[in-house]
């Protein structure tokens, strides 16, 4: 019994191997067994291999804080996703696809212009009747974009009859998958089809499987939840019959402006235009009570459609020094840095618009956020994709972030 106890103790100790001195890691067979348990409850095949493990390591080691934020946002978005997945008779595990797409950021934008939780390009938004104009981008509307994603996923599965292939098609397009099947001689197993797919599409399904794992096992990796501003149960809706600015809404609802923006991400100018039909507004339940009491007086006002940013505004910008090159002029510098000529003059206290070669200007340009999610319908290769190309390396995590 003593020998048996020592053997069992050694097994327990060996089950927790540290990739980083502070973070738990486990032997491959344990990850595989946990995924097998999840696989039993879904029709979406959840295979385990080194490529999947590579993504698990990214989420549970290097991107732990990122994962904490995602888990918190899931408390708000997942009940909504599940409602529409049930409506369209789709597997509940497809809710994790939005994490791969956008990290549950409703205003996530890719380099190619794909937007929202489910990352629709402009032409795809027209296919699913998602409105995009000067004031509204319904690709960022959690409700409408989720329904559009469900319709699209159902269409892809109807054509490919395999969920892993349908997921690959969501990323690369159904034509890309169909052509890969033809080039492979008719293979329909995703893992056999991988060499015939673009690299971003090759990595998409492993990323999805890894997200399934981490969202069900994050506590085993000592990852804690970072709460979102609100949970699904704390939010309600109210209809407005006249155009209102977010500034008016936040004052009437006694709700912070950033919460109004977060709950209503499809309005691009912090202004809700109302035309022929009432428009649905999302607010905290506590805010709805205050808003309803003030709405009649509010709708009697005439809000400005938008407010110009004050000259020299630095909100969400970062500074750098621009050295004027031969042939450059103010308009080009302002266009390249998404600002105005008046801003540049203000930031540098310039007496006039004269420029000279090698002149050094302080310019505040929009902050660039790192993206750690994939984008639907485009071949963009992110760090995580590059990482998977070296998944077999002994020093995987360090290679990614060198």
pLDDT higher than 60, residue 15:
no
- Give the confidence band of 186 by pLDDT, cuts at 50, 70, 90: very high
| Distance in Å from the first CA to the final CA of the chain | 49
In the block, tokens 């549970």 appear at 60
Lowest mean pLDDT among 7-16, 174-183, 301-310: 7-16
pLDDT higher than 60, residue 10:
no
pLDDT higher than 70, residue 18:
no
Give the span between the Cα atoms of 167 and 194, in whole angstroms: 13
Q: What is the pLDDT of residues 24-76, one digit of tens each?
A: 889 999 999 999 999 999 999 999 999 999 999 999 998 999 999 999 999 99
Give the phi and the psi of residue 320 in degrees, each rounded to 5. -155, 165
Percent of the chain at pLDDT > 90 equals: 65
**Residue 70 CB partners (closer than 8 Å, separation 6+):** 99, 103, 104, 215
List every span in the chain annotated with CATH 3.10.350.10.
Answer: 317-366
The rounded Cα 241 to chain-centroid distance in angstroms is: 31
Is pTM beyond 0.85? Reply is no
CATH code, 317-366: 3.10.350.10
pLDDT higher than 50, residue 301:
yes
Give the span between the Cα atoms of 39 and 41, in whole angstroms: 5
Q: What is the pLDDT of residues 85-133, one digit of tens each?
A: 999 999 999 999 999 999 999 999 988 889 999 999 998 888 899 999 9
List every span in the chain annotated with CATH 1.10.530.10.
Answer: 13-227
pLDDT (0 to 100) of residue 305:
52
pLDDT (0 to 100) of residue 394:
36
Picking from 113, 120, 151, the residue whose alpha carbon sits closest to that of residue 138 is 120
pLDDT higher than 50, residue 238:
yes
Lowest mean pLDDT among 147-151, 174-178, 374-378: 374-378
pLDDT (0 to 100) of residue 367:
82
pLDDT higher than 70, residue 388:
no
* Inter-residue contact 145 to 265 (CB < 8 Å): no
Length of the chain: 402
pLDDT (0 to 100) of residue 358:
92
CATH code, 13-227: 1.10.530.10
Q: What is the pLDDT of residues 352-384, one digit of tens each?
A: 888 899 999 999 998 876 544 444 444 333 333
pLDDT (0 to 100) of residue 368:
74
């Amino acid at each position: 019994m003593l020998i048996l106890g020592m053997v069992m103790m050694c097994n327990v100790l060996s089950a927790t191997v540290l990739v980083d001195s502070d973070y738990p890691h486990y032997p491959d067979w344990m990850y595989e067994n946990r995924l097998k348990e999840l696989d039993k409850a879904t029709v979406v095949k959840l295979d385990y291999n080194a490529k999947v493990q590579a993504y698990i390591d990214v989420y549970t080691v290097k991107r732990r804080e990122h994962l904490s934020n995602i888990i918190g946002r899931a408390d708000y978005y997942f009940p909504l996703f599940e409602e529409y997945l049930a409506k369209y008779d789709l597997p509940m595990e497809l809710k994790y696809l939005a994490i791969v797409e956008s990290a549950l950021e409703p205003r996530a934008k890719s380099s190619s212009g794909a937007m929202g939780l489910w990352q629709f390009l402009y032409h795809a938004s027209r296919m699913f009747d998602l409105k995009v104009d000067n004031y509204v981008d319904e690709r960022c509307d959690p409700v409408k974009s989720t329904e559009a994603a469900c319709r699209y996923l159902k269409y892809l599965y109807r054509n490919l009859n395999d969920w892993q292939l349908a997921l690959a098609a969501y990323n690369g397009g159904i034509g890309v998958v169909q052509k890969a099947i033809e080039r492979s001689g008719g293979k329909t197993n995703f893992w056999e089809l991988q060499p015939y797919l673009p690299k971003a599409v090759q990595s998409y399904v492993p990323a999805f499987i890894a997200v399934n794992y981490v969202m069900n096992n994050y506590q085993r990796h000592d990852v804690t939840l970072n709460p979102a501003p609100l949970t699904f149960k704390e939010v309600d809706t109210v209809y407005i019959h006249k155009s209102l600015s977010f500034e008016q809404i936040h004052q009437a609802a006694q709700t912070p402006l950033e919460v109004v923006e977060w709950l209503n991400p499809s309005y691009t100018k912090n202004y809700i235009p109302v035309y022929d039909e009432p428009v649905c507004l999302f607010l905290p339940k506590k805010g709805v009570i205050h808003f309803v009491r003030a709405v009649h007086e509010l709708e009697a006002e005439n809000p400005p459609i938008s407010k110009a940013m004050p000259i020299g505004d630095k909100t969400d910008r970062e500074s750098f020094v621009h050295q004027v090159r031969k042939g450059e002029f103010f308009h080009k510098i302002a266009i390249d840095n998404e600002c105005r000529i008046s801003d540049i003059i203000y930031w540098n206290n310039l007496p006039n618009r004269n420029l000279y070669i090698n002149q050094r200007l302080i310019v505040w340009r929009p902050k660039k956020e790192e993206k750690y999610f994939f984008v639907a319908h485009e071949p963009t290769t992110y760090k995580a994709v590059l990482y998977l190309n070296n998944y077999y390396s002994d020093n995987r995590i360090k290679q990614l972030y060198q």
